[in-house]
Structure 1
Amino acid sequence: MYSKVTLLCLAAVALARPDRPAPAGYGYAPPTPTYAPPQPSYSAPQPSYEKHEEGMPFDFEYAVKDDYKGLDFGHDSNSDGNVVTGKYYVALPDGRTQIVTYTADHYNGYQAEVTYEGEAQYPEPQPYKPAPSYSAPAPAYSAPAPTYEQPKPLYGAPPH
């Protein structure tokens, strides 16, 4: 057995000799590139300031006021097809109302003026103390009444 193992080890060493040349792939030469790099195919960018098309005139308005949740916001806007003017507002958490009045057109872009109504209030935070959402349950039953009688013997007196 020892001689068989030794013989197998010698065969493995003989097959892995470093003086043998390394095999060249899978029996064929590696391909050589036969293409040329692509030529750039771009042109100068087109100007984006082409003729301005007039828009459609519109007029809209909406508002939301929910005192329970403390929401108060709205927006109104109108356009003659060239210039859009409008105003939107929102109630801020600090008690103020932010009002944005804007105009927008194709040449001057969006121009806004932001104003605030009211004065910011920052009250001292109160520690959170949740109220219990339940009370002790009322008993829904009374003590059980006994439903059994004194047991009677099932056997008679023993014979003498």
Structure 2
Amino acid sequence: MSYGHEKYEKGMPFDFNYEVKDHYKGLDYSHNSNSDGNLVTGKYHVLLPDGRTQIVTYTADHYKGYQAEVAYEGEAKYPEPGHYKPAPSYGHPAPAYGTPAPSYGHPAPAYGTPAPSYGHPAPVNGHPAPAY
């Protein structure tokens, strides 16, 4: 294993780019890059939260490494802080009704006193008939 001299293999050539713009969500960014297998060049930009656009132009190879130039377009804008308004303090509302009065009386019985379903019983302890 040799640590003194590193050998780099030539990379594969490529070329790509993409772009995203969504004004509703405030997104705006893109990236493009290409390579001949030895040197990679590219550029990307992104819309920052402060309203500026950051633009990075770069090159990269095995000898000089990654080298970037960063630039900004626009002016940073910071919104004025809103004035503090405490949440309203509401108490419980007074009831708008009283205790309801009953709308009924005691119910009348739905039945009368029952009539007896039997007559008077015949006496059981009479005098026995004479047995002669």
Does 2:38 correspond to 1:82?
Answer: yes
Q: In structure 2, which of residues 48, 52, 60 is the aligned counterpart of residue 96 of structure 1? A: 52
Does 2:17 correspond to 1:69?
Answer: no
Alignment of 1:13-32 (within 5 A): none
**Across the two proteins, how many residue pairs are aligned to each other?**
96
C-alpha offsets along residues 13-71 of structure 1, whole Å, 9 cap, x if unaligned?
Answer: xxxxxxxxxxxxxxxxxxxxxxxxxxxxxxxx732642321111000011222222211
1:114 is matched with: 70
Higher strand share: 2
Closer, same or farther: CA 123–108 of 1 in aligned 2, 3 Å? same
Kindly, what percent of the aligned residue pairs are identical?
73
Unaligned runs of 5+ in 2: 86-103, 116-132
Larger relative CO (CA 8 A, sep 6+): 1 or 2? Answer: 2
Partners of 1:104 and 1:48 lie apart in 2 by 22
Unaligned runs of 5+ in 1: 1-44, 130-147
Give the C-alpha shift of residue 151 in structure 1. 4.6
- Between stretches 100-109 and 63-72, larger displacement belongs to 63-72
Structure 1 stretches of at least 4 aligned residues deviating more than 4 Å after TM superposition: none
Partners of 2:112 and 2:37 lie apart in 1 by 115
1:60 is matched with: 16
Closer, same or farther: CA 157–113 of 1 in aligned 2, 3 Å? same
Instruction: Give TM-score, length-normalised by structure 1.
Output: 0.52
- How well do the aligned residues superpose, as a CA RMSD in angstroms? 2.8
Closer, same or farther: CA 158–50 of 1 in aligned 2, 3 Å? closer
Higher helix share: 1
Give the C-alpha shift of residue 153 in structure 1. 2.9
